[in-house]
Amino acid sequence: MPIFLLLIAGAVDLGRLFYAYVAIVNASKEGALYGASNPMCDRASTQCPNPLNVVWHVQSEAGNLRDADGSLPTPTVACLSPSGAARGSLRDCVDGDTYRVAIDFQFRLITPILGSVLDRGLTLHAQSEATVLNRAFDPNPGLSVTKTVRNPKTGKYERTPTPDPVTGQPVYLEFSNGDPIQYQVDVVNSGGTTLTGLTVTDTPGGWPSSCPSWKKVLSVGEHYRCDYTRTADSGGQEERQVTNTVTVDGLEISPVQDVAIVNVIADPAELAISKTVNVFRNDPPFGSDTDLTVGENNRVNPTVWYRILVRNVGGLPATSFSIRDSMGTLPRNGDCPRPPSTLDPDETYTCFYSRTFTNAGDVENTATADSRETSPVSARASVEVDTCSGSSRVVPNLVEDPSGDPRTVAEARALWLSAGFSGPFNPATGSDNREVTAQSRTPFDCRVASISISVSHR
């Protein structure tokens, strides 16, 4: 009886063994056939849910087989190139490759004596292959974002920073304050499913309006690219790192970012100055002449206006800023305010002041601006005052009084007559309270007394 029972148990084990082997062979074939059409769906995922994956097909075909720990058999998947070499990733699997599914199954005997001898059981191995029919695709969502900066020396878009090949320290692209920085953002759907509800932010500065319309839906493999320009700003510092970050988000993905960092180096403070002279204070725009000739006599003393303009054309503040004029102390009023102690980059200081001449001669004067960080810079303007002789008269300024305020038509007419002119004044009557805006004869020219003059008014 014991021998008979042992033989029966051995026959049962042999049947179980044959059943298990046939089951894993069939399971590996089923997995290989499915994987050949869906190379990337080797296991369950969001995009490859059951039953749309190799593992599900293998375990479903294996039926009630269980490993010693009670788990279902798990296959090993590989994609082989035509040369027989394994692809590094299932993503690289292409038409014509070989899709291999292998299963190892631990079979345990129930025969008493053999079961004790083979305590760990027997390992059954099955392997099946099928020719890949479809190029692999990534069933999972994915997005890659790249932000680069155009190198002004090479003209190519580059990552910044990049590691130094010797020291490994980060190396940044450098720009001068005020230079254009050209950025490029490249977004690609690198996954295997269409991405929807996409949003993009770019800081600082916001997403540029010059970029093509943003794509809220990006199909598999589709690109979106934008080149745009920002102005390098050192923020008043000698050197400043400017970080620019692009972030893309969507319904199927977590936010993806990329960063470009550049160094902005400010030019030192630099003052530029000009001094011009004009007969009108409010002649828009103020004249650009640095030399002026006027006439004078015992009835009219010419009043001219000077303008001093100073600008910090550098990239850093000019501190302890000061300005002086060879004609004497500058006035302190609305036309010529007190100079600021610091002139910031691109900031301008403007001073208007007037001078009335009572004697003939050449008058040349110089304005000088200075600061702690700069050398003094100067600008000159000259006025030649001629005496109107004989029957000549000096054309007065009928538009403005010596303080720069406008005259009325009545005031202009009275001044024309008091200057000794006998020619017609137009308009002869009416509009007396209107402000004069222009006159037909140049102020402070020497003219014969009989000439006429016309004025325009508001």
> Sorting pLDDT into bands at 50, 70 and 90, what band is 136?
confident
* Distance between start and end Cα atoms, the chain: 134
Q: Degrees (nearest 5) of the Cα angle 370, 375, 380?
A: 65
Would you say 138 and 91 are in contact if contact means Cβ atoms under 8 Å apart? Answer: yes
Name, in order, each residue with C-beta under 8 angstroms of 270's C-beta and a sequence gap of 6 or more.
Answer: 312, 313, 314, 318, 374
Confidence band for 4, pLDDT divided at 50, 70 and 90: confident
Burial class (CB in 10 A: 0-12, 13-18, 19+), 191: buried
Does residue 119 have a pLDDT over 60? no
Contact 17, 65 (CB under 8 A): no
Give CA–CA dist 190/187, Å, rounded. 9
The pLDDT, as a whole number, for residue 137 is 67
Top CATH class of 388-458 equals alpha beta
What's the token pair of residue 91? Answer: 């993503």
pLDDT of 138 > 80? The answer is no
Average pLDDT over residues 33-49: 88
Strand partners, 148: 184
**Nearest CA among 38, 39, 31 for reference residue 92:** 39
Q: For the chain, what is the mean pLDDT?
A: 91
Q: For position 161, what pLDDT does the model report?
A: 96
| Neighbouring residues of 126: CB distance < 8 A, sequence distance ≥ 6 | 21, 24, 25, 27, 28, 102, 103, 105
CATH of domain 143-265: 2.60.40.10
What average pLDDT score do residues 60-70 get? 85
Instruction: Show Cβ contacts of residue 64 under 8 Å, excluding neighbours closer than 6 positions.
Output: none
Region(s) of the chain under CATH 2.60.40.10:
143-265
pLDDT value at 338 more than 90? yes
pTM over 0.75: no
Q: Does the pLDDT at position 117 exceed 60?
A: no
Q: How confident is the model at residue 238 (pLDDT cuts 50, 70, 90)?
A: confident
Q: Check if the beta carbon of residue 357 is closer than 8 Å to that of residue 294.
A: yes
Token pair of 164 as six digits: 């130094």
Span 41-50, average pLDDT: 85
pLDDT of residue 340: 96
Evaluate if residue 299 carries a pLDDT over 80.
Answer: yes
pLDDT confidence bin for 322, thresholds 50/70/90: very high
Region 57-70: what's the mean pLDDT? Answer: 87
| pLDDT of 116 strictly over 90 | no
Nearest Cα residue to 130 out of 34, 44, 40: 34
Q: What are phi and psi of 162, to 5 degrees?
A: -125, 150
The more confident residue out of 413 and 136 is 413
Q: Residue 387 is encoded by which pair of tokens?
A: 């005496």
Residue appearing with tokens 């002789």:
389
Q: Which pLDDT belongs to residue 457?
A: 92
Q: Is the pLDDT of residue 202 over 60?
A: yes
pLDDT band at 135 (very low <50, low <70, confident <90, very high): confident
User: Which part of the chain has CATH 3.30.10?
Assistant: 388-458
Q: Does domain 267-290+302-376 have CATH number 2.60.40?
A: yes
Q: How far is the C-alpha of 75 from the C-alpha of 105, rounded, in Å?
A: 10
